[in-house]
Amino acid sequence: MSTALAAAQLGALCKDDTRGAEFWESAGLLLLEHTDADDDAEIAFDRAFGRDPRRGVAFDRLFRRVRARNEDDRLLDIIERRLGVADSDLEICKLFWERARVLRKKGKLDEALAALENVTLLEPDHIGALALSADISKAQGDLGQAAAFYAELSRVAKAPGEQRLMSGITAVDAYEKLGEHDRALDVLVGLHRAGLSTLPVRERLVRVAARVGSWEEATRLLEELMVERDTPAGRAEAARLAMAIYRDQLRAPRRAERAAAKLLEEAPDDGEAIDLVLTTDYEPGFRTRVLGRAKATLIQALASDPTDADRVALLAKIAGAGQDAALRQATLGALVALGRSDEGISAELRKIDVRVPARPQIALDARAMAEIADPLDTGPVGELFAKMAETICMALGPSLVSLGVGKKDRIDSRGGHPLRVAVAEWMGALSFETDFELYVGGPNPRGATGVYGQIPALVLGSEITTPLDAASRSAIAREAFALRRGITSLRTRDDNTVASLVAAACIESGLAVPQPPYAVFGEVSRAIHKEMSRATRKAIAEVCQRIVSSQQDPHRWAQAARRSIDRMAVIAAGDVSLVLSDILNTPREQLGGVVAESERARQLVAFVLSQSYLELRKKLGMGVR
């Protein structure tokens, strides 16, 4: 303590400022090292600094204590005096930084910015100065200047990565608010090239690049995003945007192959990507691979939603590109049924139909007949109708009398009349094992009606001639199939009548079943009782017992059996719109408004768009040549 006092006295007595300052500094150090008189030490350092601001130790110790007590005015004075003697750029930079910090704290923002400018002149990448300059500029409402400082900070390699990233994003936010998208893009590109871009940064970069028309940068980033994004939808979106930029902005659709491939990997039935592949001369192997996958995906999707006209149109395009005429015909017919008809489609359907054999070439076996039937067209109710076909026809019609035809209208089986030959070929194709009679007449000049009897008959309208057109083929095949199955009555009788027939037959076979509550039951029951022979009554007993035991719903079976008839009709026609026009009693050009509301129509369209339909046409020898 005495030594410190002696040094202090020497300092006070010494007339030379330099020498006196040295003694005062020594006194302060002695007090700090050997006593607890910190306040006295500070006084000594203050005296030393006051006599000679160049005393580094005195300045440092005094500066730290004053700053710790937040004595801002005194601190500014100390900084000012030290700046007057400092000769080291590093120290001068630190002093200006401290001055700026204090001035900002006191709210003297312009003076603080001036001090920070001196800092960055000496050390352009001073992290604190850039950050503080940005914050002050932002506080002053100078968004452009703040953005510039944040942008500069994002480029400082020695700054922590998180700080660089946050500064960059803040700069981008500011530039976008100012409409300076080019500068925002520069910042984002800098972050990306520095390896600091996260997925959100790359997303932002793409948007900004697209906004300023930096298409090459945008596609490069999008091709990264189409791999990096977490969800299939996100990856598909990035691929779609990259593909669109290559196609529409860069006018280079061939360069979009990678993006199109990725999009079709995530969404194999994407229409935009399929259209690009179809219209661009990509390598054949690539086209075959992606279009084949798209075709399979579309067929699978249409099985559950057959009225999706956009998907049907895509499938039609793929069929056309692959020269798959059979699928092309099926899809074009479906498009007409879904309301997408135009003269071009109608003309193409006519051309394709010319290439289809007008007559079946091969007889279908039992397995193929089962494939034609609707999956729900099974069970004992169908067997009952087969056994009772003649009884039902006699009881409820149709009959030759009700159709207004007689011997004069019958086509002789001898002589090879072209129309009889054409019908005989359809009968043979459906493995019809008995002879049949053919009549021309009836109330509908374009119609066809099957009449079941010991010798089944087919009544054709007067306008049906050979060679058979698609509508005529459809009608004849439909009736031949219904005759073969014994279900011709289903086309003219409703579900309640069918249920009444089943109940009446079970009662006739001796089973105690309740009468159904349908108004038509009495009439049906009386007619069946009148026309049923003893042999038929005996033949149906076992089937009726199974109907009662299984509790099969006649309504559901009748709907399924009609769908089976529809299937046969469309297999023969090749154009589902023709069949649906007949079923729904609606002109082809107006089908679009009713098909979607009809479950029967929806299921027929679904069948036509299935592989099973095309294979059955091939089995008949009616594929497109």
Q: Which tops the pLDDT comparison, 134 or 318?
A: 318
SS3 of 459, please? strand
Residue 205 reports pLDDT greater than 80: no
Question: What CA–CA distances, in Å, run from 189 to 145, 146, 234, 448?
Answer: 20, 19, 22, 74
Q: How far apart are CA 549 and CA 380, in angstroms?
A: 10
Residue 203 confidence (pLDDT) above 80 = no
Give, in degrees to the nearest 5, the angle at Cα 300 between 297 and 302.
105
In tens, the pLDDT along 180-192 reads 888 887 887 788 7
DSSP characters over 555-578: HHHHHHHHHHHHHHHHHHHS-HHH
| Among candidate residues 371, 436, 264, the one with its CA nearest the CA of residue 620 | 371
Q: Is the pLDDT of residue 625 over 70?
A: no
Let me know: does 83 contact 95? Beta carbons within 8 Å. Answer: yes
Strands 437-440 and 448-451: unpaired
Instruction: Give the residue-averaged pLDDT of 420-443.
Output: 91
Continuous H helices in 280-397:
284-304, 309-321, 325-337, 343-354, 366-372, 380-396
Integer-rounded Cα Rg, in Å, for the chain is 47
Query: Is pLDDT above 80 for 571?
Result: yes
Q: How far, CA to CA in Å, does 86 sit from each of 80, 92, 120, 207, 616?
A: 10, 6, 17, 50, 99
Confidence of residue 258 (pLDDT cuts 50, 70, 90): very high
Residue 572 pLDDT level (bands cut at 50, 70, 90): very high
Q: What is the mean pLDDT of residues 419-440?
A: 91
Residue 516 pLDDT: 93
Residue 18's SS3 state is: helix
Peptide bond preceding 467 in cis form (omega within 30 of 0): yes
Given CA atoms 579, 583, 589, 594 in this order, what sign does their dihedral have? Answer: negative
pLDDT for 416: 86
192-196, 299-303, 373-377, 552-556 — which is least confidently predicted? 192-196
Start-to-end CA span in the chain (Å) = 119
> What pLDDT, on a 0 to 100 scale, did the predictor assign at position 186?
84
Reading phi first (left if > 0) and then psi (alpha if -120 to 50, else beta), residue 555 is in alpha
More confident residue, 414 or 475: 475
> Which pLDDT does position 606 carry in this prediction?
96
pLDDT range class, residue 425, cuts 50, 70, 90: very high
* 455-467 pLDDT tens trace: 999 999 999 999 9
CA distance 10 to 513: 133
Mean pLDDT of 240-244: 87
Q: Kindly state the average pLDDT of the residues 501-514.
A: 93
- 261-272 pLDDT tens trace: 999 999 999 999
* 302, 303, 304, 305: CA torsion to nearest 10: 30
User: Does the pLDDT at position 1 exceed 70?
Assistant: no
Mean pLDDT of the chain: 89
Token pair in block for residue 618:
């091939």
- Name the nearest CA neighbour of 55 among 78, 27, 22, 30: 22
Q: Could you tell me which residue, 78 or 539, shows the higher pLDDT?
A: 539
Instruction: Give residue 237's pLDDT band: very low, low, confident or very high (50, 70, 90).
Output: confident
**How far does CA 496 lie from the centroid of its chain?**
43
Q: In this predicted structure, which of 299-303, 351-355, 436-440, 600-604 has the lowest mean pLDDT?
A: 351-355
The predicted pLDDT at position 612 comes to 92
Residue 163 CB neighbour total at 10 angstroms: 14
pLDDT of res. 487: 93
Strands of the sheet containing 410-411, edge to edge, are 410-411, 437-440, 457-460, 448-451
DSSP characters for 24-87?
Answer: HHHHHHHHHHH-S-HHHHHHHHHHHHHH-TT-HHHHHHHHHHHHHTT-HHHHHHHHHHHHTT--
Q: How confident is the model at residue 600 (pLDDT cuts 50, 70, 90)?
A: very high
Q: What is the pLDDT of residue 61?
A: 87
- Per-residue pLDDT tens over the stretch 127-141: 888 888 888 888 888
pLDDT, tens digit, 9 for 90 and up, residues 9-56: 787 878 888 888 888 888 778 878 888 888 888 888 888 888 888 888
Question: Stretch 352-381: mean pLDDT, rounded?
Answer: 88
Percent of the chain with pLDDT over 90: 48
Rounded average pLDDT over 363-372: 88
pLDDT over 90 (residue 530) = yes
Sequence-distant (≥ 6) Cβ neighbours of residue 251 within 8 angstroms: none
Most confident range (mean pLDDT) of 10-14, 63-67, 90-94, 515-519 is 515-519
Q: 169-178, 184-193, 313-322: which has the minimum mean pLDDT? A: 184-193
Residues 6+ apart with CB under 8 A from 69: none
> What's the pLDDT band for 583 if we cut at 50, 70, 90?
very high
CA distance 391 to 249: 73
**What are the residue boundaries of the structural domains of the chain, listed by start?**
1-85, 366-573
